[in-house]
Structure 1
Amino acid sequence: MPAHAAEPLSPAKGTVLLTISGNIEQTNAPGRAEFDRDMLEALGRKSFKTTFVMSGKTHLFEGVSLRAVLERIGSKGTVIRASALNDYEIDIPWDDLKYDPLIAMSADGEVLKLRDKGPLWIVYPRDDHSALRDDIHDSRWVWQLNRLRIVRP
């Protein structure tokens, strides 16, 4: 069992940026876990530089490890279904956690805003792993991320 999963999850005090449902142990709303910016940042900041395919440029992304968020709520599954504000949805295999993707909240020192495809992105360290430099993994970069659903077979 993840270290943090036993601790109750406090209710979000600010604007909810991320809602997680499905196979999770900790909730702070009926059937789901809701996170505001402060709650995400409390899980520990992480950053890396990597190339964003759409711009062709390297950017410094900062946020929180997707794995840390999932561990905090005691999630177990085989698939992470990620959804965006524009209803884009994609299934991310649990195995992708080995690459330690980031839930980015800023890029190049600027907080991601809605007009920048924010406030949250799922970002992979594609420059660190040649296996991530393909269309399949590029499609798992989810901007305007707002929901995750933990799915079991």
Structure 2
Amino acid sequence: MRQVLFLLLTLLLPCTAAQAGSELPSPQGRVILTVTGDITRTNAGDEARFDAAMLRNLGMHAVRTHTPWTEGVSRFEGPLGRDLLAAVGARGRQLRVKALNDFVAEIPVSDVEDNDVLLAMRRDGKPMSVRNFGPLFVLYPFDDHPELQTEKIRFRSAWQVATIEVE
């Protein structure tokens, strides 16, 4: 039995190592997100650049929630933050999320791992424009978890996200 386990591990470890250092596909459309820092998968030097299609390919998830900045309940859709971090092989403990207007939010990676934090791209079925929190909005599932309705979490919910640095 040990020999079989050793053989399996010997065969699987090189694949895992190769995947960890492999490059991401190149964006075909306009880049809307750049991820830098402590990552192992890139597609432009030491950066991981994503267009909208690449983000959608990470898997779209939805949450219906109120936010402190919108009226009523909206349905937001986008990839989960943890899926993005897995795609780039993130190894850090902190995310430095920067918006188009230079606002910076510091988000512990544990937030993204422990909650279904979205990189919302759509609101109520429509793409989010820069004027309306887009192209990307770091959104916590506020209604699903009332304990997230704190000032500290609100400051982590950045919109008009352009870059994420993994520290």
* TM-score, normalised with respect to structure 2: 0.85
Q: Please provide the CA RMSD for this pair.
A: 1.6
Quick one: distance in 1 between partners of 2:78 and 2:25? 20
**1:8 Cα deviation from its structure 2 partner:** 2.8
Conserved 8 A contact 2:140-2:148: yes
What 5-or-longer segments of structure 2 have no aligned partner? 1-15
How far apart are 1:37 and its partner, in Å?
A: 0.4
Residue 61 of structure 1, CA deviation:
0.3
Aligned mate of 1:130, from 142, 146, 151: 146
Alpha-carbon offset, residue 131 of structure 1 = 1.8
Given that 2:22 and 2:42 are in contact with CA atoms closer than 8 Å, whether structure 1 keeps it comes out as: no
Aligned-residue offset at 1:6: 5.4
Amino acid at match of 2:100: L
Amino acid at match of 2:158: V
In the other structure, the counterpart of 1:104 is: 120
Instruction: Measure, in 1, the Cα distance between the counterparts of 2:32 and 2:89.
Output: 19
Amino acid at match of 1:146: A
Contact 1:79 1:150 in 2 (8 A): yes
The answer to whether structure 1 residue 37 and structure 2 residue 64 are counterparts is no
Q: 1:12 and 2:24 equivalent? A: no
CA distance in 1, matches of 2:116, 2:158: 15
> What is the Cα deviation at residue 57 of structure 1?
1.9
8 Å contact kept, 1:5–1:72: no
The residue identity in structure 2 corresponding to 1:123 is: L
Maintained 8 Å contact 2:77/2:122: yes
Is 2:107 aligned against 1:95?
Answer: no
Contact (CA 8 Å) 1:61, 1:104: kept in 2 or not? yes
Name the structure, 1 or 2, with higher relative contact order (CA <8 Å, separation 6+).
Answer: 1
Specify the alignment match of 2:131 in structure 1.
Answer: 115
- Identical residues among aligned pairs (%): 36
Unmatched 5+ residue regions in structure 1? none
Residue 40 of structure 2 corresponds to which residue in structure 1?
25
Q: Secondary structure at the match of 2:157?
A: coil
Deviation at 1:117, TM superposition (A): 2.3
**Runs ≥4 in structure 1, deviation > 6 angstroms?**
none
Secondary structure in 2 matching 1:139: helix
